[in-house]
Amino acid sequence: MKIRAIVPVTTNELEAVALGPLSAAARPDTEISVTSLDTGPASLESRYEDAMAVPDLVEKVVQAEEDGLDAVISDCMGDTGVEAAREKVSIPVIGPAETSMHIAAMLGHKFSVVTVLDRLIPLVDQRAIRTGLTGKLASVRTVKIPVLELDGRDRLLNALVDESVKAVREDGAHVIILGCTDMAGVAKDLEERLKKHGISDVPVIDPTVLALKIAEALTDMGLSHSKRTYPAPPKKEILGY
Amino acid sequence: MKIRAIVPVTTNELEAVALGPLSAAARPDTEISVTSLDTGPASLESRYEDAMAVPDLVEKVVQAEEDGLDAVISDCMGDTGVEAAREKVSIPVIGPAETSMHIAAMLGHKFSVVTVLDRLIPLVDQRAIRTGLTGKLASVRTVKIPVLELDGRDRLLNALVDESVKAVREDGAHVIILGCTDMAGVAKDLEERLKKHGISDVPVIDPTVLALKIAEALTDMGLSHSKRTYPAPPKKEILGY
Amino acid sequence: MKIRAIVPVTTNELEAVALGPLSAAARPDTEISVTSLDTGPASLESRYEDAMAVPDLVEKVVQAEEDGLDAVISDCMGDTGVEAAREKVSIPVIGPAETSMHIAAMLGHKFSVVTVLDRLIPLVDQRAIRTGLTGKLASVRTVKIPVLELDGRDRLLNALVDESVKAVREDGAHVIILGCTDMAGVAKDLEERLKKHGISDVPVIDPTVLALKIAEALTDMGLSHSKRTYPAPPKKEILGY
Amino acid sequence: MKIRAIVPVTTNELEAVALGPLSAAARPDTEISVTSLDTGPASLESRYEDAMAVPDLVEKVVQAEEDGLDAVISDCMGDTGVEAAREKVSIPVIGPAETSMHIAAMLGHKFSVVTVLDRLIPLVDQRAIRTGLTGKLASVRTVKIPVLELDGRDRLLNALVDESVKAVREDGAHVIILGCTDMAGVAKDLEERLKKHGISDVPVIDPTVLALKIAEALTDMGLSHSKRTYPAPPKKEILGY
Amino acid sequence: MKIRAIVPVTTNELEAVALGPLSAAARPDTEISVTSLDTGPASLESRYEDAMAVPDLVEKVVQAEEDGLDAVISDCMGDTGVEAAREKVSIPVIGPAETSMHIAAMLGHKFSVVTVLDRLIPLVDQRAIRTGLTGKLASVRTVKIPVLELDGRDRLLNALVDESVKAVREDGAHVIILGCTDMAGVAKDLEERLKKHGISDVPVIDPTVLALKIAEALTDMGLSHSKRTYPAPPKKEILGY
Amino acid sequence: MKIRAIVPVTTNELEAVALGPLSAAARPDTEISVTSLDTGPASLESRYEDAMAVPDLVEKVVQAEEDGLDAVISDCMGDTGVEAAREKVSIPVIGPAETSMHIAAMLGHKFSVVTVLDRLIPLVDQRAIRTGLTGKLASVRTVKIPVLELDGRDRLLNALVDESVKAVREDGAHVIILGCTDMAGVAKDLEERLKKHGISDVPVIDPTVLALKIAEALTDMGLSHSKRTYPAPPKKEILGY
């Protein structure tokens, strides 16, 4: 099957950040492609930037369906534009945050999300409210590193370890969700580092990879989003697009 | 004070639909202006159209602050773009749906929203979830008339009466919220018609007018949205805008 | 329009505490009056005292409607007697606590209430439960000063600053609600003091003033509480009253 | 032990309505007394009447403690004044509505309350919200008979059967709570009548009797309400009382 | 009446731990018996052990009904097997955890449970979720002593005092529930010890004793679990039992 | 990878009912095995039968891990014994009900579960409460056919269509979950039949197949249940097992 991750930013270097872990995790019969946006922000760290990314994200999702893709991932923890895009296509449009929260809720008693900046805390809270899983959210913690500086893996891992240890010890987290898709690829390293701190019983979820595996699962089953929830928009001109 | 309603569609005939009730309801010292979008959809009946309206809505909000307006209303029951816009300005950005739900919850035990089309029911439900007021939402009902046909006031009023009576009698509503800002101006007519059906004890909320009155109240108090919740976005180029 | 604040205690010196901020905040065309009780407690710091204030509060509300007032405020953060009073009249009867919580929920992600004494914490919690807004309540904190000693403004402001800083930094509050109507008039001072502590992005709500502004807004719209929720009591003698 | 039911109305004929079932249900070593109010309304069918009953109810509770009673019941499904009274005494003050809801939630999946008048539906809903048991409340139904006409037992039982059958068949109730303490004594009759309608598996709770049995249980254990939740009110004069 | 506590473990020394407090608390006309299991674990400190105790617990409950008992208690804070057992009999089957949480919610604003081991925290949380009382649960704390070592009363009391003080001071608990039925008999000692720490206003609930008193109350009223919720299982062979 | 479904009943004919759809849905590299119990009930239609199935289910799960399986499914909509089993092993133990509810919540606004018998409605409700997804549960409906008669596929499909249509039209379901794993294999037939009733936009989830696909996804990622939530039980003898 063919699955495409759309990184909803114009920084196309981030395509490679996603492609590595996705290719490594894909089943042999899954063909992965990654694309990013032509119009929109360089990174997503606010509601405003998220909103400005949606029009092109939707277009890229429509293009993916036309290209014969089986499922797409909006590869950002804001689940950027997934609801709007689901109206325009019939293939599954996966949001990593929503997916991670549901699976984390199945895997353990409570989960914490470790994201980049304090300003995103309300957005993660809102995402949990929308899923209905607030009772399972132990905490939202932040590494206090902007998205475009996440490539310093040592700095990132150290901060992730610090915050994850606090999430487990102080907040009662039993599962950790990486809170930014640009942290892709560090989940297993983080699990290893946590073991050195005596925490060997807490799974770490990489949302991008999980989104891929759930996309594969839904495609295998011929399941997609309910068109009763996400009916096609009325036919109308959209001025300026 | 100066308050502007931005109708987040490109159908600029709808400016007049808003201007009448707003001018009638404004305080003597409130100067009302209404504008609509240059780019975006003709009407908002889907998540997709809502998303496509946001970029220009935000620009119009920023323009309003630069023009010295005291507060703005995103004049649509989707509260289109209010969260993104709040990040970009310091003046209050009022969403009629959110505002109506909070005030309705103060006025009576449970409220119903009567909106246009069945496809919008999940969106109204989501708005209630976001406010925390799901326990107060008696039902969401629909007149089954597309937005651009709402100008047939008799047809609209008849359908509103039918659905409001059912909301009160069958669903236990004690307050009715008009579910589309393009129903502006019919609240008092609906209250009168309900009295003829023996329902003289149920207030009807016109969300556009309520948004104006709350905008006036907040402006008087020098209150606006918390910038801790809605901090200014990082300085970054947005390609294509 | 004419709006009356009824301070539900017999300490009539507190009328002046309310009158200042209310007069300053009222629209030019709003005529403010303030009254207090003839029977009842000197201050409200318990459920018992609150209950003993209600009979006279209701009588004062009925009198206000007979006097041609457009709306009344029960000027206490216990929203003393508002539900009983709403049954007896048709004009809006505003509760400052309920109103502040709904508006705070619109202005920011989470709010804290800073009230006077620890013994009132469950009462504030209950008020939040009743509104449905528990998910938005970051914390209830206390200045540990009895109501009748609140006139020491320096001591009050220092304590308010201390607790508000903790509410923001430790509890995640994005909006502060003054938790006692006898703190009236210090909201802007508190905002200024918070700025000196590096917190310039958190609005502070003065519940008495907000109640006035919402009363004005509802009166302008001809909106009042649903008589379906608050129907007139059956005609019956009340022995002893 | 000595337990007193205080019927919070001035209709002292209702003392006998309570005394019969209470005496029949009391343990041999429990001495029952019933009293009613000197000041207040003839019956409780509104928030206003409830509020007007509280001052004398509290006085009667204080008197009961002084008289050496072990526990008191505020014998009305409004749980009239229980929170205010708990502050003034150390003995248990039992509310029949609250108690019935907690025990019903232990006995079955969902419960319905069948009360007297539609106007009381929001009050029962609020009581459920306060207990946290809204998820267990199948419905609130009404026999549409005023309190002071409840002595027509045939009319009452017929209406109770009709509404209870609907509560079970249509609303999914597995337990029925009698919604007015003046229905005291009909629980077992109602259970019998339901059996004739093929419903032999639904317990019916008589709140007055249950309140007595829980009062006995708490007294045996030396348990009462937490004084941390219900601390004694500050010493202050209450003008007019 | 005759009430039996079934300790759902094979350590029959624990029968005596239960019998003492139960006999002391029983009414003169209540005949207490205590039994334990023939097959199952020595103590219950995991979901697995709980599951392995259920088959024999159910058999013991069925035997109790055949023996003419009026009610049974599954004497463990896991409420071991109560739901399965209720299907097999018509007499009340009381779970101490569920019962304690409902009564604690009536007695105070929030309660904490102090149990034995950290691994049981999610199980107590789940029990609260099931009752609907999560909003009333201040915290779950642990003495970090395995069940079979609880007979060291000094060590136990010291740890209970430490954790209860923290529950009150840091978590806002107004009622304490002993979190393991093998702590039976220490409630009053703990209340005394808390007074020495200045906490004289917090009731402590002994779940085993409370279960007995509620069993007595329900039996007096002829109330038992709804057979609509707990219908008899279909007649079928169970291989191996 | 190797995945085993354990049908937690002793009716080993039901192994074949599961094996067909599982084999058809498995990835080429997934080796499916199905087993059933040696001790326990013939079918699961009550809490009692569920409890009696758990001991052997746990043993079969332990055996599966010893046999080198990668994941197991407890193939029943009661998620029989999954929590106890997770404590005993490190491989994922998947519950079809829990999994279906989480995925359904991702796919649409609200879901309904169509199960076999009315007596199971509270159990499905409880499962939803446990996941936190009650706000997404539109209804639980029943075909009123005992499990062991589900092999009459025409009768089953007709009843499923009737109830699913009502779930969509009357209850607002946007996704349907088959409520018994012995309905395995009819999801696509049901979707087709619904289209003939004009409902072409509602996905139908087969819980057994979904459990397999999620098991594959988790195994690929090296994810399993949090051992912090499900720590290994203490080492103790279990008498009689």
- pLDDT of the residue at C153: 85
Whether chain B has a CB inside 8 Å of the CB on D217: the answer is no
- Do the chains contact at E218 and D213, CB–CB below 8 Å? yes
- Dig out the tokens for E196 from the structure: 């020495």
Looking at the predicted complex, does its ipTM rise above 0.90? Answer: yes
Q: Please give the mean pLDDT across all residues of chain E.
A: 96
Mean pLDDT of chain A: 96
Cβ contacts of residue A11 below 8 Å, gap of 6+?
A36, A42, A43, A148
Residues of D in contact with F129 (CB under 8 A): 135
Per residue in F190-204, pLDDT (tens digit) is 999 999 999 999 999
Query: Which residues of chain A lie closer than 8 angstroms to E121, CB-CB?
Result: 109, 172
Query: End-to-end alpha-carbon separation of chain E, Å?
Result: 31
- pTM reported for the whole predicted model: 0.97
What is the H or E stretch that residue E33 is in?
A: strand E31-36
Q: What is the pLDDT of residue F149?
A: 85
Query: How much is the mean pLDDT over chain F?
Result: 96
Question: Hey, which of B140-154, D140-154, F12-26 has the most confident mean pLDDT?
Answer: F12-26
**Complete DSSP assignment for C190-203:** HHHHHHHTT--S--
Share of chain D above pLDDT 70, in %: 100
CA–CA gap between residue C228 and residue C77 (Å, rounded): 25
pLDDT digits (tens, 9 = 90+) for C7-49: 999 999 999 989 999 999 999 999 999 999 999 999 999 999 9
- Read off the pLDDT of each residue in D118-129 and give the average, rounded to a whole number: 96
Spatial neighbors of F59 by CB under 8 A, at least 6 apart, are: none
- Helix or strand holding residue F137 (H, E): strand F137-142
Q: Determine what percent of chain D falls in helix, strand and coil, rounding each to the nearest 5.
A: 50, 15, 35
Mean pLDDT over F120-137 rounds to 96
Give the pLDDT confidence score for residue F237 in this predicted structure.
86
Mean pLDDT within C92-101: 98
Q: Give the pLDDT of residue E152.
A: 77
Closest-CA residue of chain D to B174 = D122
Q: Looking at residue C109, what is its pLDDT? A: 98
C-alpha D236 chain-centroid distance:
31
CB A213 to CB F221 under 8 A?
Answer: yes
Please give, one letter per residue, the 3-state secondary structure of chain B: CEEEEEECCCCCCHHHHHHHHHHHHCCCCCEEEEEECCCEECCCCCHHHHHHHHHHHHHHHHHHHHCCCCEEEECCCCCCCHHHHHHHCCCCEECHHHHHHHHHHHHCCCEEEEECCHHHHHHHHHHHHHHCCHHHEEEEEECCCCHHHCCCHHHHHHHHHHHHHHHHHCCCCCEEEECCHHHCCCHHHHHHHHHHCCCCCCCEECHHHHHHHHHHHHHHHCCCCCCCCCCCCCCCCEECC
Tokens of A216: 């594969």
Going by their DSSP bridges, the two strands E71-74 and E40-41 should be labelled as unpaired
Q: How far is C169 from chain A (nearest CA, A)?
A: 12
Spatial separation of the C-alpha atoms in residues E188 and E180, rounded to whole Å: 15
Residues 6+ apart with CB under 8 A from A202: A108, A164, A168, A173, A174, A175, A176, A191, A194, F226, F228
pLDDT at C152 over 80: no
Q: What is the mean pLDDT of residues F53-76?
A: 98
Kind and range of the H or E run holding C49: helix C47-66
Chains B and E touch (3+ CB pairs under 8 A): no
CB < 8 Å to E134, chain A:
135
The whole-angstrom distance between C186's CA and the closest CA on chain B is 13
Residue D21's pLDDT band (cuts 50, 70, 90): very high
Can you give the pLDDT at residue B151?
80
| Contact flag for F and D (3+ C-beta pairs < 8 Å) | yes
pLDDT the model gives residue D50? 97
Mean pLDDT (chain B) is: 96
CB contact under 8 A, E51 and F81: yes
CA-based radius of gyration for chain A:
17
| CB-CB contact of D42 with D12 (8 Å) | no
Helices D96-107 & E96-107 angle (0-180, nearest 10): 160
Contact F193, F114 (CB under 8 A): no
Tokens of C165: 């800083």
Q: Which two tokens stand for residue A91?
A: 């293939």
| Tokens linked to B69 | 């307006």
Q: What percent of chain C has pLDDT over 70?
A: 100
Look at B126 and A122 and tell me if their CB atoms are within 8 Å.
Answer: no
Per-residue confidence at C215, pLDDT binned at 50, 70, 90? Answer: very high
Model pLDDT, residue C185 = 86
Size of interface A-C (CB pairs under 8 A): 7
**How far apart are alpha carbons B74 and B89 in whole angstroms?**
14
**pLDDT confidence of residue C148:** 83
- Taking CA–CA distances from B108, the nearest residue in chain D reads D122
Q: What's the mean pLDDT in A40-63?
A: 97
Q: F22: closest CA among F44, F5, F35, F43?
A: F5
* Average of per-residue pLDDT across A31-41: 98
> Which residues of chain E fall below pLDDT 70?
none
- Burial track D146-185 (b if 16+ CB lie within 10 A, e otherwise): ebbebeeeeebbebbbebbbebbeebbbbbbbbbbbbbbb
Closest CA to B228 of A48, C200, C176: C200
Q: Measured between CB atoms, does F171 come within 8 Å of chain D?
A: no
Give pLDDT, residue A144.
Answer: 95
Q: What chain E residue is nearest to C118 in terms of C-alpha separation? A: E172
What average pLDDT does the segment A180-198 reach? 93
Paired tokens of D108: 């079955």
Q: Which of C187-191, C235-239, D126-130 has the lowest mean pLDDT?
A: C235-239
**Phi, psi dihedrals of residue F39, rounded to the nearest 5°:** -125, 145
Chain C CB contacts of E173 under 8 Å are: none
CA dist list (Å): B148 to A236, A240, B13, B41, C187: 11, 20, 10, 12, 45
Largest pairwise CA distance in chain B: 59
F228 vs A99, A201, A214: nearest CB: A201
Asked whether the predicted pLDDT for residue F185 surpasses 90, the reply is: no
The whole-angstrom distance between B241's CA and the closest CA on chain C is: 28
Q: Does the beta-carbon distance from D227 to E201 stay under 8 Å?
A: yes
Please report the pLDDT score of residue C147 as a whole number.
82
Name which of D109, A227, E103 is nearest F128 in CA terms.
D109
Per-residue model confidence as pLDDT tens digits over D41-60 = 999 999 999 999 999 999 99
Hey, is the C-beta of E134 within 8 angstroms of any chain A C-beta?
yes
> What does the alpha-carbon distance between residue B220 and residue F73 come to, in Å, rounded to a whole number?
61
Reduced to 3 states (helix: H, G, I; strand: E, B; else coil), residue A78 is: coil
Residues F87-97 pLDDT 10s = 999 999 999 99
The beta-carbon neighbor of B239 closest among A10, A51, A238 is A10
Under DSSP, the state recorded for D138 is E
Contact in structure between F58 and E48 (CB atoms under 8 Å) = yes
Give A59's contacts (C-beta < 8 A, 6+ positions apart). none
Predicted confidence (pLDDT) at residue F48 exceeds the cutoff of 80? yes
CA–CA dist C63, C61 (Å, integer): 5
pLDDT digits (tens, 9 = 90+) for D187-199: 999 999 999 999 9
- Across the interface, of A47, A56, A84, the residue whose CB is closest to B84 is A47
* Residue F1 pLDDT > 90: yes
Cβ neighbours of A122 in C, within 8 Å: 109, 174
**Chain-centre distance for alpha carbon E24:** 17
Q: How far apart are the first and last CA of chain C?
A: 31
Question: With an 8 Å Cβ cutoff, is A125 touching chain C?
Answer: yes
pLDDT digits (tens, 9 = 90+) for E158-183: 999 999 999 999 999 999 999 999 89
> Which of D116, D121, D136 has its CA nearest to residue D178?
D116
Nearest-angstrom CA–CA distance, E87 and E214 = 20
Residue-wise pLDDT for C117-146, tens only, equals 999 999 999 999 999 999 999 999 999 998
* Cα dist from C185 to C157, C205, D97, D226, whole Å: 11, 10, 41, 35
- Please check the confidence at residue F170 and state whether its pLDDT lies above 90: yes
Mark whether E and F touch (3+ CB pairs within 8 Å): yes
